[in-house]
Structure 1
Amino acid sequence: MAPAFFTSLFKQSVTPDALRAYLAEFISTFFYVFAVVGSAMASRKLMSDSATDPSSLVLVAVANTFALSSTVYMAANVSGGHVNPAVTFGMAVGGHISVSTALFYWVSQMSASVVACLLLKVATVSQDVPIYAIANEMTGFGASLMEGVVAFGLMYGVYAGGDPRSGPLRSIGPVAIGVMAGAMVLAAGPFSGGAMNPALAFGSAVVAGRFKNQAVYWVGPLIGAAVAGLVYDSVVFPGQRVNSDGV
């Protein structure tokens, strides 16, 4: 019985439409990571001390806003435009996608991030790929809490932006999601990095070969996104659910 059940789930996750969704997630996540990590590398090249220059933070926040808005829009009609394993996890916890499909989304997103960071390293003649790190005065718990809060805000924006009751305003959902991401980077960047996205942190860590505090960028965002989805679905708008594709 159990093997047949899992076989059925797997078959649902390898249909032509599902494969197109995985490809859409790969493409969108690739360009999102390429833009965000690339902007951090560009600011480091152009500024003598980008780590303490406020304009560097603004540059990365703007890149997040533009890149996420665009890439969510690119994939919205095919995969839902998650572009983030935490968003996928939140959708799975809320029952909007199956666990097996979510796992395939994760593979697409994580591999896209690694490829994007690797390409940046090769294309820039082996310049160091920046990794996400927490501030010296921050604890792992505090950084996880910070990442959880900003991921909550992002995920709540994803639900609101994809709500069919928004009517014509739904068309600007990707823009609202991108603006929320940029605002969260401005708030959390100097403390926890403001990744909100496990794939974003993972890809740069793999290429750089440094995994210190990597759990922060998984535990916080996954919990924050799951709680946001449950709050939106079960508390704020009970019985009213966004479609299974997200945005």
Structure 2
Amino acid sequence: MGLLHETKAPGGAWSLLAAGLAEFFCTAAFLFIATGTVTSGCHTADTARQSGATDQELETVEPGACFLGSTNLLNIAMAFGLSIFVLVYAAASFSGGHLNPAITIAMFLTSRVSLVRAAVYIICQLAGAIVGSALVRAADPNGFKAALGAANRLNTWANVGTGLGVELILTAIFVFIVFAAVDKKRGAHSAHMPVLAPLAIGIVVFLCHLVAVPIDGCSVNPARSFGTAVVARTWAHHWIFWVGPIVGGAAAGLLYEALAYRAPLFGGPVEEQGREPGTSPAGPQEYTV
């Protein structure tokens, strides 16, 4: 099937619309829950004091004073990991549950989604991220201001090389785990794995945030960074949160493709297996969570 054609996809235009809406809604929900945890955490007594609010009133603190630091690190990491777990599970039957342009691009480069579907997914993910972040600002304007919307930015001690390297490496690990978790061929050899795929994805997101929140707030998802940047109007070093995840994710996806479909476990080279992208009920992609 050509990567530019959607007409052969099961369900046609309706399948694509439903998938795009699922990506939009679940990405918006992800931003609201995950970044909302950051902004609401700014109201806790210890974090408020560290932000310069002597009486837990955040109205007068400097924007961004409540950084995604170590005080609430475990809460933040759990919010990101668990929200991805449940929302990937919710979106899986519609779109495959990408919720992340880095994953969508990796899926496109390995012929799991068409160019048209990849473009629709990314547009919906970015739009959903903006809406989710805007809802956080509407619900908690003082916490949003104190945390600068939980926007990704380098901590004072971190440099560009550190941020870019961490985002690239963590996204590569993340995307490799995603590919392994949702691989049907792999699932044929371990039938219980597809059931655990959303959990595995949520756990790796949790682990990534434990590592990178104190460095740059942890992105591994350009939509997450873009949505908060648009609403908070902060663009410092924003390119890091596109280049790192996309390069790392693409490299991991291509590596998985090269390794998995040349491994004896999977029956040899891909051309000998009759693999055809577009056989999934979710549309023109072979694998879905």
On whether the aligned pair clears a TM of 0.5, the verdict is yes
Deviation at 1:139, TM superposition (A): 2.5
Deviation at 1:57, TM superposition (A): 1.2
Q: Alignment partner for residue 35 of structure 1, among 33, 36, 43?
A: 33
Distance 1:182 1:142 in 2: 20
Q: Alignment partner for residue 74 of structure 1, among 80, 84, 90?
A: 90
Matched AA of 2:176: Y
Instruction: Kindly indicate whether residue 225 of structure 2 is the aligned counterpart of residue 201 of structure 1.
Output: yes
Q: How does 1:166-185 map to 2 (within 5 A)?
A: 166=187, 167-185=191-209
Q: Alignment partner for residue 112 of structure 2, among 96, 110, 114?
A: 96
Root-mean-square deviation (CA), in Å? 2.2
Stretches of structure 2 lacking an aligned partner (at least 5 in a row): 51-65, 263-268, 278-284
Deviation at 1:229, TM superposition (A): 0.7
Q: Is the 8 A contact 2:38 2:68 kept in 1?
A: no
Query: What are the Cα deviations for residues 173-218 of structure 1, in whole angstroms up to 9, with x where unaligned?
Result: 1001000000010011111321100010111110011111110000
Deviation at 1:52, TM superposition (A): 7.7
Which of the two has higher C-alpha Rg? Answer: 2
Stretches of structure 1 lacking an aligned partner (at least 5 in a row): none
Distance 1:12 1:143 in 2: 41
Q: How does 1:83-232 map to 2 (within 5 A)?
A: 83-125=99-141, 127-128=144-145, 129-164=149-184, 165-166=186-187, 167-232=191-256
Q: Is the 8 A contact 1:79 1:245 kept in 2?
A: no
Distance 2:116 2:229 in 1: 26
Residue equivalent to 1:235: 259
Query: What are the Cα deviations for residues 106-164 of structure 1, in whole angstroms up to 9, with x where unaligned?
Result: 11000000001111111224642221111223332331111011111111111111022
Distance 2:259 2:210 in 1: 28
Distance 1:95 1:108 in 2: 20
Distance change in 2, residues 1:173/1:215 (3 Å): same
Deviation at 1:9, TM superposition (A): 3.1
Residue equivalent to 1:16: 14
- Of Structure 1 and Structure 2, the greater helix share is in 1
Distance change in 2, residues 1:245/1:58 (3 Å): same
Deviation at 1:88, TM superposition (A): 0.4
Q: Is the 8 A contact 1:114 1:204 kept in 2?
A: yes
Q: TM-score, normalised on structure 1? A: 0.90
Count of residue correspondences: 242
